[in-house]
Amino acid sequence: MKTLQDLGNLKGKRVLVRADFNVPLKGTTITDDGRIKAALPTIKALREQGAKVILMAHLGRPKGQVVPELSLAPVAKRLGELLGIDVPLAEDTYGPSAQSKVEQMQDGDVVMLENVRFNPEETSKNEDERAEYARKIAALGDVFVSDGFGVVHRAQGSNYSVAADLPSAAGLLVEKEVKALSKATENPERPFTVILGGSKVSDKLGVIENLLDKANRLVIGGGMVFTFLKAQGYEVGTSLLEEDQIDTVKGYIETAQKNGIELVLPTDIVVNKGFPAGETPVAPQVVPADAIPSDMMGLDIGPDSCKLFHNKIVDSKTVVWNGPMGVFEVPEFADGTKAVAQGLVDATKAGAFTIVGGGDSASAVRNLGFPEDGFSHISTGGGASLEFLEGKELPGLKVLD
């Protein structure tokens, strides 16, 4: 994979950078600017060389329509604050406004193009459509830098097709992500522990299959754990359950036993009468994992499981975590996710290499107040990091070879 060094001297060059600025918004307020901060090293490195930095990114799912609420204006404003400069936002992606803004750039300037997904061609399945659209964007630049790790698992116009028209390389963020995830999957220091959570087993099937002969220990929590408990014949009440995955999960349990992989499931569960929304009160109870009442819903791992999971994590040399342990947005169901995050922090202090695998896990550690430097690496790409862990070929990386 080519990197910034392979592009040579970039002074005076117009550098198109595909970043990942798909940040959570509340109105026009950014509630987590982690992805913007993650792009700073590449942007600063290019500015120091005297390059003209042209940023492109998406926000939300406008589905090829101009949706004012999904404008990148809040992102341009926040980025300008972080850089201490003005970051103008073009009103389009490659049209008159973008062309005018780029023509006015001086060395070291930064300009942001409007949401690439306002263009239907960006995510088109028609390769020719995407290619024609990408050529219009490519006309704005001299070289292309792919720095949006959160989109490298997709072959889209601004992160894949543009690379065919310009000299291309990975930015510092993508390079860092690949190195970190490779370190955890290609030759991990052992014991190697993988913690998987989140709502659905089906979201993690590929990861489990790929790691069943690589990890030493699989720790399972979140909504997906109830399919594992059901596969063992336990009552799960009204908890989230994927009936169609029970046989698959039984196969995983058998394979783990056969391969000598320690499968760690919670011993106790925090339950509620229902999901705490609307009229459902928050009245948590702790029950054994094999004795969930039929009218109760599991929403977090219990206190004994928190200790168990924490101990398994700190007894590791390499740890990868993807997916919260419960509904961490509700304080009463956040303890499991906190315990796992604290376990990673403690393991890191003890010399382990730890990865928070993006998505909800990354949001959780920030929202729960954990220091970002408490982990070896916090991934910016939930789906991309999952597919990397699955061993899949990511088109946005392959195009940079």
CB-based contacts of 185, cutoff 8 Å, min separation 6: 214, 320, 388, 389, 391
Name which of 74, 70, 61, 65 is nearest 31 in CA terms: 74
pLDDT in tens, 53-102: 999 999 999 999 999 999 999 999 999 999 999 999 999 999 999 999 99
* CA 195 to chain centroid: 15
The secondary structure of 114-180 as a DSSP string is --GGGSGGGG-S-HHHHHHHHHHHHTT-SEEEE--GGGTTS--TTTTGGGGTS-EEE-HHHHHHHHH
Among candidate residues 148, 359, 374, 381, the one labeled active-site is 359
Write the class of the CATH domain 4-172. Answer: alpha beta
Give the model's pLDDT for residue 363: 85
Give the model's pLDDT for residue 259: 93
- Please give the CATH number for the structural domain made up of 188-389: 3.40.50.1260
CB-based contacts of 116, cutoff 8 Å, min separation 6: 56, 57, 58, 93, 122, 137, 156, 157, 158
Give the model's pLDDT for residue 144: 98
Give the model's pLDDT for residue 251: 96
Cite the annotated binding site for ATP by residue number.
204, 298, 329, 358-361
Catalytic residue check, 383? yes
3 state SS of 68? helix
Residues carrying CATH 3.40.50.1260, the chain: 4-172, 188-389
> For residue 110, what are the β-bridge partners?
53
> For residue 145, what are the β-bridge partners?
17, 169
Catalytic residue check, 351? no
Give the model's pLDDT for residue 360: 85
Q: Are 245 and 290 in contact (CB under 8 A)?
A: no
Backbone angles phi, psi at 200, to 5 degrees: -120, 135
Among candidate residues 80, 95, 274, 383, the one labeled active-site is 383
Cite the annotated binding site for substrate by residue number.
20-22, 35, 58-61, 117, 154
DSSP letter at 351 equals T
Name which of 146, 141, 157 is nearest 103 in CA terms: 141
- Looking up tokens 């202090």 gives 349
- What is this structure's pTM? 0.90
Among candidate residues 18, 35, 52, 78, the one labeled active-site is 35
Give the model's pLDDT for residue 117: 98
Among candidate residues 135, 200, 214, 366, the one labeled active-site is 200
Catalytic residue check, 200? yes
pLDDT in tens, 26-51: 999 998 898 999 999 999 999 999 99
User: In which residue ranges of the chain is pLDDT below 70?
Assistant: none
Dihedral of alpha carbons 222, 386, 232, 240, sign: positive
